[in-house]
Structure 1
Amino acid sequence: MSNTKVKKSFFHKLRNKYRLAIFNEQTYEEVWQMRLSRLNVFTVVGSSAIILVLLIILLIAYTGLREYIPGYPDGDQRRMLVRNYNRVDSLVAEIEKRDKFFESIKAVVQGEVPPSEEEMLQDNGISKPQKVDFEISKEDEAFRQRVEAEEKYNLAVLPEGKMIPELNQIYFYSPLKGIVVKEFRESESHYGIDIVAKPGDTVLSIMDGTVIFSGWTVETGYTMMVQHSSDLISAYKHNAKLLKKAGDKIAAGEAIANVGNSGELTTGPHLHFELWYQGNAVDPTKYIIFE
Structure 2
Amino acid sequence: MDKKAKKKGKLKQKLTDKYRLVVLNENTFEERFSLKLSRLNVFVLGGVLSFLLILVTTFIITFTPIKEYIPGYSSTELKIKATKLAFQTDSLKRKLDIINDYTKALQPILNGEIEPEIIDSAAFSLGKVEIKDSLLHATREDSIFREKIESQDRFPIQNNADTNVEIVFFAPLNGIISQSFDPNTKHLAVDITAPKNAPVKATADGTVIFSGWTTETGYVLILKHDHDYMSVYKHNGNLLKQQGDFVKSGEVIASVGSTGELSTGPHLHFELWSGGYAVNPTNLIDFR
TM-score range, shorter chain: 0.3 to 0.5
Question: Normalising by the residue count of structure 1, what TM-score does the alignment of the two structures yield?
Answer: 0.46
Question: Normalising by the residue count of structure 2, what TM-score does the alignment of the two structures yield?
Answer: 0.46
